[in-house]
Amino acid sequence: MAVITISRQRGSMGSYIALEVARELNLRYLDREILQSVAREAGVDAEAVEALEARAGRLARTLHILGARPKLPAVASASIRSEESQEERVQELMMLEGVSQEVALARLRSAPTSDYVPQRDYLDLTTSVILEQAAQGKAMIVGRGGQMILRDKPDVLHVQVIARFETRVYNVIEREEVKWREAAHRVRQSDEQRAGYMRRFYNVDWLDSSLYDLVISTDKIPIEVAVDTVIRAASALGSKELQGPQD
């Protein structure tokens, strides 16, 4: 029944660890697959949902700097609310993309209805997809707030993989064949977007260790050791669930 969520900093090798653990435990590996499922449910292209995720992350950082706290989303309804008023759509587009009311209204009038994915509906659909996948068991859920969506599930292991900034920049240079400045930019941008995403949708600090059962730094720990550690933790959690509560 193993279900694991992985949160990782870019360049920490977290995706490699997640993939290897999934292979060893025969888990379904769900990363962009979640995004694609959300896009199918919403009736839009996956690129549109990916752009929404990026904008949500940037918006949260901007609001944080300005000292504003965005309204938290409503409880997931797992449905697209087609009856949402045009005024609400305009306000949402203004907030997400920082455009004027006139520009937002013009965009909505000129774009097909299916191109618009309200932020609350995005969260509802993402929550629904992740809950459904977790209910099936044997899943490695990578990113997209899985640690928050499944935080009350006792049989889910939440893991975060981190590393120092310099380590991550070096890994990006090696993997993506770019210069130091570009690698550093990509790492910083990813950090900002992921932190902003979690702050925007869940009002939490994604580096808060209390959100996870296991935090691994790959500065000194080899990948194979990290993989083995996650597998052992998942096995221990599974054994505990089988034993049930102790007197």
24-33, 70-79, 83-92, 110-119, range with the lowest pLDDT: 70-79
In tens, the pLDDT along 206-224 reads 899 999 999 999 999 999 9
CB 4 within 8 A of CB 234: yes
User: Which among 109, 110, 127, 157 has a CA at the least distance from the CA of 34?
Assistant: 127
CATH topology of domain 3-42+133-243: Rossmann fold (3.40.50)
Q: How confident is the model at residue 128 (pLDDT cuts 50, 70, 90)?
A: confident
In tens, the pLDDT along 130-153 reads 888 888 889 899 888 889 989 888
H or E element, residue 156? strand 156-162
Q: State the average pLDDT over residues 1-29.
A: 90
Q: Give the total residue count for the chain.
A: 247
Q: Which stretches of 137-221 are DSSP H helices? A: 146-149, 165-176, 180-202
18-22, 59-63, 234-238, range with the lowest pLDDT: 59-63
